[in-house]
Amino acid sequence: MTERLFEGADWDFHTLQRITDACETVAMKDLGLDVYPNQIEVITAEQMLDAYSSVGMPLFYKHWSFGKQFAYHEASYRKGLMGLAYEIVINSSPCISYLMEENTATMQTLVIAHAAFGHNHFFKNNYLFKQWTDADGILDYLDFAKNYVMQCEERHGRIEVERTLDAAHALMSHGIDRYPGKKKLDLREEEKRAGRRRQHEEEVFNDLWRTVPKGASKTRSAISLERRRKLLGLPQENLLYFLEKSAPRLAPWQRELLRIVRHIAQYFYPQSQTKVMNEGTATYVHYRIMTQLHQQGRISDGNFLEFLGSHTNVVFQPEFDDPRFSGFNPYALGFAMMQDIERIVTSPSDEDREWFPDIAGKNDVMGVLRDVWANYRDESFIAQFLSPKLMRQLRMFHLHDDPEERAGIRVDAIHDERGFRRVRRELARQHDVGYIDANIEVVDVDLSGDRRLILHHHVIKGAQLNETDAKRVLQHLADLWTYDVSLIEVDANDKVLREYVVSPRPITAAA
Amino acid sequence: MPIHIIDRRLNPGGKSLENRQRFLRRAKSLVQGAVKKTSQERDIKDVLEGGEVTIPLDGMHEPRFRREGGTRDMVLPGNKKFIEGDYLQRSGQGSAKNSGPGEGDGEDAFRFVLSRDEFVDLFLDDLELPDLAKRKVAQTESEGIQRAGYTTSGSPANISVSRTVRRALARRIALKRPSKEEIEELEAAIEACTDDDERLVLLAQLEKLKAKSKRIPFIDPLDIRYRRFETVPKPVAQAVMFCLMDVSGSMSEHMKDLAKRFYMLLYVFLKRRYKHVDIVFIRHTDRAEEVDEQTFFYGPASGGTLVSSALQAMHEIVRERFNPSDWNIYAAQASDGDNSYSDGELTGLLLTDKILPVCQFFAYLEVGESGGSAFDLSDSSLWTLYERLRNSGAPLSMRKVSERSEIFPVFHDLFQRRDTAQEKAAP
Q: How far is it, in rounded angstroms, from Cα B180 to Cα A127?
A: 78
pLDDT at A395: 92
What is the CB neighbour count within 10 angstroms for residue B143? 10
Straight-line distance from the first to the last Cα atom of chain B, in angstroms, rounded to the nearest whole number: 82
pLDDT at B138: 38
pLDDT at A219: 47
pLDDT at B206: 87
* Contact flag A411-B76 (C-beta cutoff 8 Å): no
Give the H or E element holding residue B424: helix B418-425
Nearest to B98 among A40, A67, A401 (CB): A401
Give the H or E element holding residue A488: strand A485-490
- Helical segments of A274-419, H only: 275-295, 301-314, 330-346, 350-355, 365-375, 378-385, 388-394
Which of B1, B4, B5, B90 to probe by mutation at the A interface, max A CB count within 10 Å? B5
Strands A397-401 and A95-100: unpaired
How buried is residue B100: exposed, middle or buried, by Cβ count under 10 Å (0-12/13-18/19+)? exposed
CA quadruple A66, A71, A73, A78: dihedral, nearest 10: 160
Q: How far is it, in rounded angstroms, from Cα A278 to Cα A382?
A: 13
Residue B20 in contact with partner chain A when CB distance is under 8 A:
yes
pLDDT at A491: 86
Nearest to A40 among B4, B24, B111 (CB): B4
Residue B81 in contact with partner chain A when CB distance is under 8 A:
no
Q: Which residues of B touch A322 (CB under 8 A)?
A: 78, 96
Check if the beta carbon of residue A90 is closer than 8 Å to that of residue A56.
Answer: yes
Query: Which amino acid belongs to residue B277?
Result: V
Residue B102 in contact with partner chain A when CB distance is under 8 A:
no
Residue A394 in contact with partner chain B when CB distance is under 8 A:
yes
Q: Does pTM top 0.80 for this prediction?
A: no
Check if the beta carbon of residue B148 is closer than 8 Å to that of residue B228.
Answer: yes
Q: Which residues of A touch B3 (CB under 8 A)?
A: 17, 20-21, 24, 37-40
pLDDT at A214: 58
User: Which residue of chain A is at minimal alpha-carbon distance from B95?
Assistant: A321
Nearest to B65 among A404, A408, A465 (CB): A465
Strands A439-445 and A453-458: antiparallel
The mean pLDDT of chain B is 75
Q: Tell me the C-alpha to C-alpha distance, in Å, between residue B220 and each of A313, B158, B215, B225.
A: 75, 17, 11, 11
* Contact flag B85-A411 (C-beta cutoff 8 Å): yes
Q: Which residues of A touch B13 (CB under 8 A)?
A: 44, 46-47, 50
* Contact flag A322-B11 (C-beta cutoff 8 Å): no
Residue A163 in contact with partner chain B when CB distance is under 8 A:
no
Which of B19, B24, B30, B86 to probe by mutation at the A interface, max A CB count within 10 Å? B19
* Contact flag A401-B52 (C-beta cutoff 8 Å): no
Which of B11, B65, B110 to probe by mutation at the A interface, max A CB count within 10 Å? B65
Higher pLDDT, B359 or A393: A393
| Predicted confidence pLDDT, tens digits, chain A (511 residues) | 568 888 888 888 888 999 999 999 999 999 999 999 999 999 888 888 888 877 778 788 888 888 888 887 887 777 776 677 778 888 888 899 998 888 889 999 999 999 999 999 999 999 989 888 888 888 889 999 999 999 999 988 888 898 899 999 999 888 888 776 655 566 777 777 777 777 777 776 666 666 666 555 444 555 566 677 777 777 888 889 888 888 888 888 999 999 999 988 888 888 888 999 999 999 999 999 999 999 999 999 999 999 999 999 889 999 888 888 888 999 999 999 999 999 999 999 999 999 999 898 888 999 999 999 999 999 999 999 999 999 999 999 999 888 887 888 888 888 888 889 999 999 998 888 777 788 888 888 877 778 888 899 988 888 888 888 888 899 999 988 888 899 999 888 888 888 899 888 876 543 3
pLDDT at A224: 67
Write the pLDDT tens digit of every residue in B340-357: 777 878 888 888 888 888
Q: How far is it, in rounded angstroms, from Cα A308 to Cα A283?
A: 12
pLDDT at A122: 94
Residue B150 in contact with partner chain A when CB distance is under 8 A:
no
Q: How far is it, in rounded angstroms, from Cα A391 to Cα A411?
A: 15
Which of A38, A397, A472 to probe by mutation at the B interface, max B CB count within 10 Å? A397
* Contact flag B87-A411 (C-beta cutoff 8 Å): yes
Q: Tell me the C-alpha to C-alpha distance, in Å, between residue A91 and each of A51, A145, A420.
A: 14, 17, 35
Interface of A with B in 328-387 (CB under 8 A): 328
Tell me the ipTM for this assembly.
Answer: 0.78
Q: What interhelical angle do A158-170 and A138-156 show, nearest 10?
A: 130
Planar angle of CA B252, B49, A51, nearest 5 degrees: 165
Q: Which residues of A touch B66 (CB under 8 A)?
A: 438, 465-466, 469-470
What is the CB neighbour count within 10 angstroms for residue B301? 16
Residue A413 is classified by DSSP as E
DSSP state letters, B230-258: EEEE----EEEEEEEEE-STT--HHHHHH
Minimal C-alpha gap between B10 and chain A (Å): 8
Minimal C-alpha gap between B272 and chain A (Å): 25
User: Which residue of chain A is at minimal alpha-carbon distance from B102?
Assistant: A466
The answer for residues whose C-beta is within 8 angstroms of residue B363's C-beta and 6 or more apart is: B262, B266, B331, B332, B333, B396, B397, B398, B399, B414
pLDDT at B423: 39
Residue B11 in contact with partner chain A when CB distance is under 8 A:
yes
pLDDT at A374: 93
Q: How far is it, in rounded angstroms, from Cα B414 to Cα B401?
A: 12
Nearest to A47 among B11, B68, B94 (CB): B11
Interface of B with A in 103-142 (CB under 8 A): 110-113
User: Which residue of chain A is at minimal alpha-carbon distance from B3?
Assistant: A38
pLDDT at A205: 66
Per-residue pLDDT band at B237 (split at 50, 70, 90) = low
User: Which residue of chain A is at minimal alpha-carbon distance from B115?
Assistant: A71
* Closest-CA residue to B63 (of A475, A168, A472): A472
What is the CB neighbour count within 10 angstroms for residue B153? 9
DSSP state letters, B339-385: --GGGHHHHHHHIIIIIHHH-SEEEEEEE--TTS-TTTPPP-HHHHH
Nearest to B79 among A74, A395, A440 (CB): A395
The answer for residues whose C-beta is within 8 angstroms of residue A264's C-beta and 6 or more apart is: A142, A145
* Contact flag A401-B7 (C-beta cutoff 8 Å): no
Q: Which residues of B touch A411 (CB under 8 A)?
A: 82-88
Bridge partner residues of B229 (DSSP) = B147
* Contact flag B13-A50 (C-beta cutoff 8 Å): yes
* Contact flag A473-B63 (C-beta cutoff 8 Å): yes
* Contact flag B88-A39 (C-beta cutoff 8 Å): no
CA dihedral over B396, B401, B404, B409, signed as positive or negative: negative
Minimal C-alpha gap between B18 and chain A (Å): 7
Does B281 have pLDDT greater than 50?
A: yes
* Contact flag B70-A21 (C-beta cutoff 8 Å): no
Give the H or E element holding residue B76: strand B72-76
Minimal C-alpha gap between B425 and chain A (Å): 34
Higher pLDDT, B267 or A356: A356
Per-residue pLDDT band at B236 (split at 50, 70, 90) = low
* Closest-CA residue to A115 (of A88, A85, A144): A88
Per the rule left: phi > 0, alpha: psi between -120 and 50, beta: everything else, A359 is alpha
Residue A422 in contact with partner chain B when CB distance is under 8 A:
no
Residue A418 in contact with partner chain B when CB distance is under 8 A:
yes
Check if the beta carbon of residue A442 is closer than 8 Å to that of residue A451.
Answer: no
Which of A11, A16, A40, A68 to probe by mutation at the B interface, max B CB count within 10 Å? A68
Q: Which residues of B touch A502 (CB under 8 A)?
A: none
pLDDT at A176: 84
B54 by DSSP, 3-state: which?
A: strand
